[in-house]
Amino acid sequence: VSEYIFDKIDKGLHRLPDHPLGILKAVIENYFTSQHTEKGHFVMFDDLAPVVTTYANFDSVLVPVDHVSRSTNDTYYVTEDTVLRCHTSAHQLELLKNGHRQFLVTGDVYRRDSIDATHFPVFHQVEGVRVFEPHEWESRNISSLELASTELKTTLEGLVRHLFGDCEMRWVDAYFPFTEPSYELEIFFQGEWLEVLGCGVMQSSILDNASLGDRRAWAFGLGLERLAMILFDIPDIRLFWTSDTRFSAQFSAGMFKAGGVGMKKFASYSKYPPCYKDASFWLPDDSSFTENTLCELVRDAAGSLVEEVKLIDEFTNPKLGRTSNCYRFTYRSMERSLTDEEVNKIQEIVRARLESELRVTLR
Ligand code: FA5
Ligand code: MG
């Protein structure tokens, strides 16, 4: 785990009442508090520790032993059998076993991922779980699966309407090892469909493991940053980490208005100019090079000054049997203009580490 990531642990942005993530979390919790079920209110958790066992993060939610998400290319390992959780689903089984039947878990999660305006290696999720009793579907004369999936979609569509009023959204069939059927919800934002949550009907074997074999449950996991970007019109995910008061002064607890009607959006202060740097290199002959590793290296060298890392050209020389990649790095500060010297220095470090750590041959 790099210094840059390590430094983010325990920042607890979602527990700051005047931070956009804290504001949105409170709105979501209030929405679920208003959903009275026969079991009463949802129970809220927001300070479960982010270091979890590989059992909790993967096995407890049925992630196969050979699944890519387990690799060090995707997940930050702390020790051989502990990781920085890559999703809040890591807490599902433990909380069910502790007797909870409907709950939300909000927390920071960690992933090695690509770099652009909607991806960041540390982000926040809200997990929701609700368990149904046999009489709830029997009394309605429908199957347990139908009850859980219908209720799931209604609840989440209700949440989206509560947040945004009328907005363009669509359900997409998805796959998660821990739910069946599974869906993702996308919302139209900045000219593109943005995936905001994954959800589904919980696999029976998870309920079995919690001694709840005769019940049904739904679960969802939403990305708090993505929803906050839409709600407040925040253009770049790095802004959540800024200490610039031109950002923080625009947010306060209680500013949310239902459906977003009449709510003040974020007024972007002027964007500073970007600085582009390209690097072309031959990949090493083994298949050790990955984009995630590259992004991790750049994030470590540039911190939040890197805005995007993008593959712009790739070709294989058939005679040499070697592949060349050209990546474009976009550097831009959210707070100030960067100097040429500063960017050149970062890029020099990136280039040197590309050769020494990722063993590419710069062209
Ligand atoms: C999951 O993490 C599942 N655990 C969600 C789930 C829970 C499904 C319960 C079913 C039942 P996924 O990897 O798609 O799924 O991430 C969920 C959400 O997190 C995404 O929809 C997105 O909103 C957000 N997200 C994912 N990666 C990033 C990232 N790098 N930066 C910011 N947000 C992200
Ligand atoms: Mg997804």
CA-based angle 273:354:121, to the nearest 5? 60
| Mean per-residue pLDDT, 239-254 | 95
Residue 270, pLDDT above cutoff 80: no
In angstroms, rounded to a whole number, what is the distance separating the alpha carbons of residues 204 and 216? Answer: 7
| Residue 223 Cβ contacting ligand 1 at under 6 Å | yes
For residue 279, the model assigns a pLDDT of 97
Nearest ligand to the C-alpha of residue 220?
Answer: 1
For residue 38, the model assigns a pLDDT of 74
Residue 271, pLDDT above cutoff 90: no
What pLDDT, in 10s, does the model give residues 51-105? 999 999 999 999 999 999 999 999 999 999 999 999 999 999 999 999 999 999 9
In angstroms, rounded to a whole number, what is the distance separating the alpha carbons of residues 38 and 224? Answer: 28
- Give 237's pLDDT tier (boundaries 50, 70, 90): very high
- Residue of 103, 105, 123 to test ligand 1 pocket, by largest number of atoms within 8 Å of CB: 123
**Both structure tokens of 200:** 């589904």
pTM surpassing 0.85?
A: yes
| Mean per-residue pLDDT, 226-252 | 94
H helices of the chain, in order, are 3-6, 20-33, 54-57, 92-97, 134-138, 144-164, 204-209, 224-232, 245-248, 291-302, 340-357
- Give 107's pLDDT tier (boundaries 50, 70, 90): very high
In angstroms, rounded to a whole number, what is the distance separating the alpha carbons of residues 302 and 308? Answer: 11
Torsional sign, CA 246, 248, 252, 255: positive
What pLDDT, in 10s, does the model give residues 288-346? 999 999 999 999 999 999 999 999 999 999 998 899 999 999 999 999 999 999 999 99
In angstroms, rounded to a whole number, what is the distance separating the alpha carbons of residues 19 and 99? Answer: 32
Residue 191, pLDDT above cutoff 90: no
In angstroms, rounded to a whole number, what is the distance separating the alpha carbons of residues 119 and 112? Answer: 10
For residue 211, the model assigns a pLDDT of 97
| Residue 111 Cβ contacting ligand 1 at under 6 Å | yes
| Residue 112 Cβ contacting ligand 1 at under 6 Å | no
The residue type found at 321 is G
What pLDDT, in 10s, does the model give residues 19-65? 999 999 999 999 999 887 777 789 999 999 999 999 999 999 999 99
- Give 232's pLDDT tier (boundaries 50, 70, 90): very high
| Residue 221 Cβ contacting ligand 1 at under 6 Å | yes
